[in-house]
Amino acid sequence: MSAIKGDRVKASISIRLPQQQTFDLFTAQIENWWKRGPRYRNSGATVGLIHIEPKLDGRLFESWSEGNAERAFEIGRVTQWEPHQAFAFTWRNSNFNNDEVTLVELNFEDCGETTMITVIHSGWAAIREDHPARHGLSVVAFQQLIGMWWGDQLTSLRRVSLSDQH
């Protein structure tokens, strides 16, 4: 079965850490590398927390303070959990309706001295073309935007991985 045009984006990066350590950095230390700001977090520039509950059906969520109120947003749920090899989670943008969801799949491939991380973010074809999350972009431009977004995230992960080596 072939993918629907505009349905998936793929990004990869090589990290100079063993597979287990790379997986743990991505999952258990997500707060240390996931970029901040309104482009990457629902909390925007506000200091908050992003966390993955390390289990099947675990939550991926953000929490932060807004004035005197504590806020939280569940981004998605873990749909696959294979420690040190692969995991996947549903992904909801903050302006998605309850029935709107995409899927992020991650694979951690042991390549000797490095680990190759591949991210596939799919399900976009089910999100209407005029949805605010698409920013009014054509399918190709939107795919490029999401690919660059994941590229920015993976580059941040690599930066943190390099500081962990010292």
Q: Is the pLDDT of residue 146 over 80?
A: yes
Nearest to 86 by CA among 105, 61, 67: 105
Whole-angstrom CA distances from 130 to 38, 111, 135, 136, 160 are: 21, 41, 8, 6, 36
Percent of the chain with pLDDT over 70: 95
DSSP 159: H
Rounded average pLDDT over 105-130: 94
Least confident of 43-47, 72-76, 77-81, 111-115: 43-47
Q: What's the maximum distance between 2 C-alpha atoms anywhere in the chain?
A: 50
Handedness of CA 148, 9, 31, 94 (dihedral sign): positive
Tens of pLDDT, residues 125-136: 888 888 998 888
pLDDT, residue 79, reads: 98
Spell out the alpha helix ranges (H) of the chain.
19-28, 30-33, 139-164
Rounded average pLDDT over 71-92: 96
End-to-end CA distance of the chain: 45
Tens of pLDDT, residues 47-63: 889 999 999 999 999 99
Exposed e or buried b for every residue in 49-68, given b needs 16+ CB within 10 A?
ebbbeeeeebebbbebeeee
Residue 63 CA to residue 58 CA, distance in Å, equals 15
Question: Helix (H, G, I), strand (E, B), or coil: what is residue 96?
Answer: coil
pLDDT, residue 6, reads: 62
